[in-house]
């Protein structure tokens, strides 16, 4: 192989479309832009979703729903997950190192899902009313 023999892959290169080069080219006169109107003129264009002054679709439809940006800082942990963790004391840092909650999380709540047999002490973690009764019945404490 020689450097002067290197060619691009077949179909990788193709000729650019040259518009406005006469009627015989098929793209002469209006150069594929049609007749008149904003889109036929140089520099004349509009933003995405513009409907010629008509009320755009995204403004005609009703607003619905809301997603709080603070949700990424909140997390839930089940009783089953605490059971599998098998630690006597649980705080936010231990949950992060175990991978049960994300690294950005600041608030954790224990929810009543599953069962708990071991006594667990929760430091700086809140629990739902149902989860609280289960934890205290197993001999645990919520601090």
- Locate the domains of the chain by residue range: 19-61, 69-142
Outline where 39-110 has alpha helix (H).
Answer: 57-60, 79-85, 92-98
Q: 69-142: which CATH number, 3.40.309.10, 3.10.105.10, 3.100.10.10, 3.40.1130.10?
A: 3.100.10.10
Residue found under tokens 């403004």: 59
Angle at 45 between CA 41 and CA 48, to 5 degrees: 155
Q: 101 pLDDT exceeds 90? A: yes
% the chain with pLDDT above 70: 100
How confident is residue 143, by pLDDT bands cut at 50, 70 and 90? confident
Q: How many residues does the chain have?
A: 143
Over residues 119-129, the mean pLDDT reads 95
User: DSSP character for 54?
Assistant: B
Residue found under tokens 């950005």: 104
- CA 70: distance to chain centroid? 14
Q: 60 pLDDT exceeds 90? A: yes
């Amino acid at each position: 192989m020689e450097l002067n023999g290197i060619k691009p892959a077949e179909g990788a290169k193709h000729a650019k479309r040259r518009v406005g080069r006469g009627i015989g080219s098929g793209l002469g006169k209006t150069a594929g832009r049609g007749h008149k109107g904003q889109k036929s003129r140089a520099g004349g264009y509009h933003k995405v979703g513009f409907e010629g002054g008509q009320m755009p679709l995204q403004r005609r439809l009703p607003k619905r729903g809301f997603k709080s940006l603070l949700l990424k800082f909140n997390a839930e942990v089940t009783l089953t997950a605490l059971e599998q963790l098998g630690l006597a004391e649980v705080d936010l840092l231990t949950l992060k190192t175990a991978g049960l909650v994300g690294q950005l999380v600041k608030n954790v709540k224990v929810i009543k899902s599953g069962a708990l047999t071991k006594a667990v002490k929760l430091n700086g973690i809140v629990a739902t009313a149902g989860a609280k009764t289960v934890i205290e019945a197993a001999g645990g404490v919520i601090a």
